[in-house]
Structure 1
């Protein structure tokens, strides 16, 4: 297995197996859940589901819609909820976050611009690759 590709969490892999099983059923092909898990394991280069599952044990569980989160956005603390989540290549996540309270995204004392919802990209540690001019990540996120 290629170690440069981050394996998703067990929950993400199980969801892939569920979608595979559903897609095949829509085409008239039925497979068991165990067969779907084995197929997903092979697609990720593992010999079987147990091998793949063992490789995921130390990986961040990922982000999912409805999940409560907290963190800092452009230096401002917030709490909120994941509205949408999609895993991307190389362990990155594309998220849409809905803040409980609007966040002022402007640092100027002359005006304000409040946001209640933002789209962001995060690495597996919950930090955005984009940084402010002082070197801080635009977004730092963790489970609430």
Structure 2
């Protein structure tokens, strides 16, 4: 059974969806559940639930555990910051609501004629990427927290 370097659950589910579509296009339709089981077999697992549990455990072990008062860095609205985590709350599966208090106020204004300084922000991030789902007008995540140790 191969347990190293498994793709994320989203990628595994995407593989199952593409396999199902491909088989259907060749006249051999399968259910979504059967496609998941076939993908699990390709990775050497006895079933989808076992593969899913192993991939989730691998993803969890690969990222550091965020905790209160932890120093973090990243970008908020494209501006680099350092700060500490002042509040944490789970938002289901892989999402986390957090409040970051910046070490120094972050000026998020793009105009030189005035400043818009933020001292703290709250956002929901995807733990796998460290990014918010919400994007700025240029397509970048509003907040990126660097999760690497």
Task: Give TM class, smaller chain.
Answer: 0.5 to 0.7
Q: What residue number does 1:36 align with?
A: none
User: TM-score, normalised to structure 1's length?
Assistant: 0.59
Query: Which of 66, 73, 88 is equivalent to 2:69?
Result: 66
The corresponding residue for 1:112 is 115
Gaps of 5+ in 1: 5-45, 47-51
Per-residue Cα deviation, 1:20-46 (whole angstroms, up to 9, x for no partner): xxxxxxxxxxxxxxxxxxxxxxxxxx9
For residues 131 and 55 of structure 1, the distance between their equivalents in structure 2, rounded to whole angstroms, comes to: 26
When normalised by structure 2's length, the TM-score is 0.57
Aligned residue for 2:93, secondary structure, equals helix
Q: Within the alignment, does 1:141 sit opposite 2:145 as a pair?
A: yes
User: Structure 1 residues 56, 116: closer, same or farther in 2, change over 3 A?
Assistant: same
Which residue does 1:77 correspond to in 2? 80
> Take 2:96 and 2:116, find their aligned partners in 1: how far apart are those partners?
25
Runs (5+) with no aligned partner, structure 2: 1-8, 11-48
SS at the partner of 1:106?
coil
Q: How does 1:1-144 map to 2 (within 5 A)?
A: 56-59=57-60, 60-124=63-127, 125-143=129-147
Q: What SS does the aligned partner of 1:56 have?
A: helix
Bigger-Rg structure (1/2): 2
Higher relative contact order (Cα pairs below 8 Å, separated by 6+ residues): 1
Match of 1:39 in 2: none
